[in-house]
Amino acid sequence: MVEPFPAFVRPLQVERRAQKISDPIQRLRYLRRATTPAGSATTPARSSLSWRWAASLALAMVIVPLGTHAISRKPLPRKKSEAVVRHPVPDTPVVWPVEQTNEYDLYSNGLRIENSLAISNQPRLYSLLSRGSETPGPRRSQPAGIVFHTTESDQAPFESSQKSALKRIGQELLAYVRNKRAYHFVIDRFGRVHRIVVESDTANHAGHSVWADSQWLYLDLNASFIGVAFEARTQADQQPINAPQIHAAKALVEMLRGKYNLLPENCVTHSQVSVNPDNMRIGYHTDWGTGFPFQEVGLPENYEIPNPALYLFGFDYDPAYISATGPDLWKALALAEERRRESAAERGVTVAEYRKILQQRYKDAQSALQDRSAEQEK
């Protein structure tokens, strides 16, 4: 049950050297060799290695670029240009307006947007936060991405005998979200796209929220992201939306991405961005925590993007969030936590200490943005 720590090992020295090895597998390999006696019967592969040899190997590993990223603790090295210039995405769809009237807009990809409920709100204007410095950058009036929602509203069975109920419930929902200025677009159960808040204005769809791309951080996405809601209710055992809704969403996403040059990785679900600053946990809202058909609407599998609220701002999550989400999102959480652990190790602090630093960074970033908006109002 108790095994003595090998007497020949000088722990501080070993630890110091291990700390210089960024790749976790290489570090483990070094530590295992350094703490295994030469000639150990249990580790024949290592028997010819003295720990001094292993230490030299470790030093070499620090100097020589590592060929393996066995367990990715770090994002792959980014090209410098990527951090500075935002390139248009090669597959940005080309969609152009065919007809625009007070009643509807028609686009070249078949998208039709119903305008009869369109309403204004506050004009869209937000400050970008520079990733790395967390200082407010330039102001922007164009959206940076899309947040997908479900309305979680009443549902009637999607059957012809229910069409009166389906229409009535849909109309009541649209009136409600218009009154609340809750989203920019709602896709009803017949696949019709309704414009609610006009694109140039903010909508109240993602109050406390965090997202990041390779260059910018986004806090409180009401202004920076377009809110697209599906008339749907999350159900445990079936897809909450139907084929007409997916078809409409694909056309809408194509149009919006083409119009605003949106990065595909900035088209994400409410569950991925929602945070609760009161308890510093993610997932205050968990709609589309699983099952969003990214590929069917022409987007990459964005559930797999490590959650920036975790590794950039020290948010955490609880089992309720896990149970409301799915395995794809869990992988992203694990990746985010690995990044956080790696960053903590690089700074020589515990994860708990590092989380506190990140949380302070979040508060500072929020204050900086509030100061910036106060300046704007003057």
Binding residues for another protein (CB under 8 A): 1-6, 9, 11-12, 14-15, 18-19, 24-25, 27-29, 31-32, 34-35, 45, 69-73, 76, 304, 318-320, 322-323, 327, 330-331, 333-335, 337-338, 341-342, 344-345, 350-352
Cβ proximity to another protein, 147 vs 305, nearer residue: 305
How far is residue 286's CA from residue 234's CA, in Å, rounded to a whole number? 10
Buried residues in 255-294 as b, exposed as e (16+ CB within 10 A): bbbbbbebbbbbbbbbbbbbbebeebbbbbbbbbbbbbbb
Cβ nearer to another protein, comparing 191 with 293: 293
In the bound complex, what is the minimum distance in angstroms from residue 354's beta carbon to another protein?
A: 9
Whichever of 9 and 125 has its CB closer to another protein, that residue is 9
CA distance 85 to 213: 12
Q: Which is nearer to another protein, 34 or 210 (CB)?
A: 34
Using CA atoms, how far apart are residues 185 and 211, in angstroms rounded to an integer? 20
d(CA 307, CA 340): 11
Q: Minimum Å distance from CB 351 to another protein?
A: 6
Question: What is the chain's Cα-based Rg?
Answer: 25
Question: 259 or 341, CB closer to another protein?
Answer: 341
CA distance 206 to 147: 8
C-beta of 26 vs 224, nearer to another protein: 26
Read off the tokens for 343. Answer: 């960053």
- Smallest gap from Cβ 96 to another protein, in A, equals 37
Minimum CB–partner distance for residue 112 and another protein (Å): 36
Residue 67 tokens read as 């060929």
Q: How far is the CB of 15 from another protein (least distance, A)?
A: 5
- Nearest-5° angle of CA 353, CA 356, CA 361? 130
Q: Select 266 or 307, whichever has its Cβ closest to another protein.
A: 307
Write down the least CB distance from residue 70 to another protein, Å.
Answer: 5
DSSP 8-class letter at 132: T
**Residues found in the chain:** 378
Q: Which of helix, strand or coil describes residue 186?
A: strand
- Could you give the CA distance from residue 263 to residue 213 in angstroms, rounded to a whole number? 8
Query: Which residue, chain included where needed, has tokens 């980014």?
Result: 78
In the complex, the smallest distance separating the C-beta of residue 197 from another protein, rounded to whole angstroms, is 36
